[in-house]
């Protein structure tokens, strides 16, 4: 049976491909799970139209991410935290705190999950932080952590 794959299927093909699979595999596994659709003329036309719509949405998301990256690029954020004599923090600076400081400074609505930290910042200093806005668009901001007075 010829089917259009709606999603990537391991060992069969990528999303959007028209492939030939066993009838039982298509009827009992791929089609009921929404992984494929029977390849007819109508379904092929509908798939192409939906593909164009998805590409437009993806392009718009990429453009918005690029605009956000331009607004964030080169921004410095100053955060203060309690620290010991050696410069180690009594706790850490998290993505939530960085996101809140960026929103306050730039008024760009930024989700904390887009901030890439291998681990929370646990010492005083300057850090270059990557923000993954889109698969293809990143921004870099500088976070300066200083000790609190008192």
Going from N- to C-terminal start, the domains of the chain cover: 2-63, 69-147
Number of CB atoms found within 10 A of residue 13's CB: 16
7-64 per-position pLDDT tens digit: 889 999 988 889 999 999 999 999 999 999 999 999 889 888 988 998 999 999 999 9
Distance CA 73, CA 103 (A): 14
Q: What is the CATH number of domain 69-147?
A: 3.10.430.100
What topology does CATH give the domain 2-63? Answer: Ribosomal Protein L9; domain 1 (3.40.5)
The stretches of 32-107 forming alpha helices (DSSP H) are: 41-72, 95-106
Q: Supply the pLDDT for residue 120.
A: 86
Distance CA 42, CA 73 (A): 46
Of 98, 89, 62, whose CA–CA distance to 148 is shortest? 89
> What does 116-144 look like in DSSP terms, one character per residue?
E-SS-EEESEEEEEEEE-SSS-EEEEEEE
Give the pLDDT mean for 90-111: 89
């Amino acid at each position: 049976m010829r089917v259009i794959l709606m999603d990537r299927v391991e060992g069969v093909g990528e999303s959007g491909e028209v492939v030939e699979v066993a009838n039982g595999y298509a009827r009992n596994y791929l089609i009921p799970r929404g992984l494929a659709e029977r390849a007819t003329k109508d379904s092929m036309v509908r798939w192409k139209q939906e593909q164009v719509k998805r590409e437009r949405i993806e392009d718009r998301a990429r453009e918005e991410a690029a605009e956000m990256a331009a607004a964030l690029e080169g921004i410095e954020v100053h955060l203060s935290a309690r620290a010991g004599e050696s410069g180690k923090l009594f706790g850490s600076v998290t993505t939530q705190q960085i996101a809140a400081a960026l929103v306050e400074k730039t008024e760009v609505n930024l989700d904390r999950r887009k901030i890439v930290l291998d681990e929370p910042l646990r010492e005083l200093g300057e850090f270059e932080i990557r923000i993954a806005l889109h698969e293809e668009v990143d921004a870099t901001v500088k976070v300066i952590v200083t000790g609190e007075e008192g």
